[in-house]
Amino acid sequence: MFSGVYTAIITPFRDGEVDHAALAALVERQVAGGVAGVVPCGTTGESATLSEKEKQAVIATTVEAVAGRCQVIAGVGSNDTGASARLARVARELGADGGMVVMPYYNKPTQDGMYHHVRAIAEATPDWPILLYNVPGRTGVSLAPETVSRLADLPGVGAIKDATCDMEYAGRVAVLCGPRMTLLSGQDGAALPLWAIGGRGVVSVASNLVPERMVALWTAFANGDLEKARALHLALVPLFGGLFIETNPGPVKHLVARHTGLCTGELRLPMVPVGAGTAARLKAICADLGIDLADHDG
């Protein structure tokens, strides 16, 4: 079921609370941009500092705002297997089309531990698609390709968001899993290379800001227009890098607030607003791309 551009959507805050009206407006913008789906409560959505109740509310708002016009893949993973399984059950009941399961952070489980973590969540939500999320730079652990292949035998576990930027790793997953496992890039800058070895889409940070351009990039590749896809990718390379000058989602929140005026750039501690130097570099990148940054957020 996974194919195309999925936006790892930011969670807008206002005065310390989730701004649900802003979230609905941001979701509407993504739908208008033609994305295949939105992914609430992921890394870019600051899931690590959302309470379980807040996560449920964010997923509910996203599902309601989407209204069946694209997929909703809810971030349900954490370093607590029981809590992850509970959230997965709720997300399915709320109408999410599937769940994204990050590998447990801080605990540093073994490969067998990661397998049983995912298995417990899958068993709690039978016949519900699960997207594995491998981001060792955040979690401190990495799913081995052999473990991915083992997980591919579980009902519902049929895709992986690979944020390693390691094409050798992705290739090994593709060889071991074949059609049992759909590969999605977890990094915008690695998306086109990953597609070249069989990837089927991207869970994108950049599409928060430029959904139409990310969709155009995927569409060009999917239609076999590699020259156009390459040109679109290379034009966006400065933005892909700029969004990680400081820790995500600081830069993308800063830019979305100023470009759209639909939300504030407020982050939740321990995340803090980008520094003045970063803001200036981001402004220059956006100017080169023709992205207007009216100072909506002060």
pLDDT tens sequence across 24-34 = 999 999 999 99
Summarised one tens digit per residue, pLDDT across range 109-145 is 999 999 999 999 999 999 999 999 999 999 999 999 9
Question: Residue 298's pLDDT is what?
Answer: 41
Which CATH number does the domain housing residue 53 bear?
3.20.20.70
Mean pLDDT of 200-210: 98
Which are the contacts of 33, defined by CB distance < 8 A and separation ≥ 6? 207, 211, 212, 214, 215
Question: What pLDDT, on the 0 to 100 scale, is given for residue 81?
Answer: 98
Count CB-CB contacts under 10 A for residue 264. Answer: 18
pLDDT 10s digits, 73-119: 999 999 999 999 999 999 999 999 999 999 999 999 999 999 999 99
* C-alpha span between 48 and 42 (Å, rounded): 8
Q: Using one digit for the tens of pLDDT, what is the confidence trace for 140-187?
A: 999 999 999 999 999 999 999 999 999 999 999 999 999 999 999 999
Name residue 104's amino acid. P
Report residue 134: phi and psi, to 5°. -105, 110
In a domain, 234, yes or no: no
User: 243 lies in a domain?
Assistant: no
Rounded-to-integer distance, Cα 128 and Cα 130, Å? 6
The Cβ of residue 192 has, within 10 Å, a number of other Cβ atoms equal to: 23
Q: What is the pLDDT of residue 1?
A: 81
Q: What band does 297 get if pLDDT is binned at 50, 70 and 90? A: low
Enclosing domain of residue 35: 4-225
Q: Does residue 123 fall inside a structural domain?
A: yes
- Residue 241 reports pLDDT greater than 80: yes
For residues 10 and 248, what is the distance between their CA atoms, to the nearest angstrom? 10
Measuring CA to CA, which residue among 35, 27, 32 is closest to residue 9? 27
Question: Residue 286 and residue 293: Cα distance in Å, rounded?
Answer: 8
Query: Above 90 in pLDDT, residue 63?
Result: yes
Q: DSSP string covering 225-241, please? A: -HHHHHHHHHHHHHHHH
Q: Cβ distance 100 to 111 under 8 Å?
A: no
Closest to 209 (Cα-Cα) out of 291, 282, 274, 136:
291
What's the chain's average pLDDT?
97
Percentage of residues in the chain with pLDDT exceeding 70?
Answer: 99
Is the Cα torsion angle 54, 60, 64, 68 positive or negative in sign? positive
Confirm whether 168 is domain-assigned.
yes
288, part of any domain: no
- Domain count across the chain: 1
Given a cut of 70, whether residue 295 has pLDDT beyond it is no
Whether 170 is in a domain gets the answer yes
Domain for residue 287, yes or no?
A: no
Catalytic annotation, residues: 133, 161
Contacts of 124 (CB under 8 A, 6+ apart): 85, 86, 88, 89
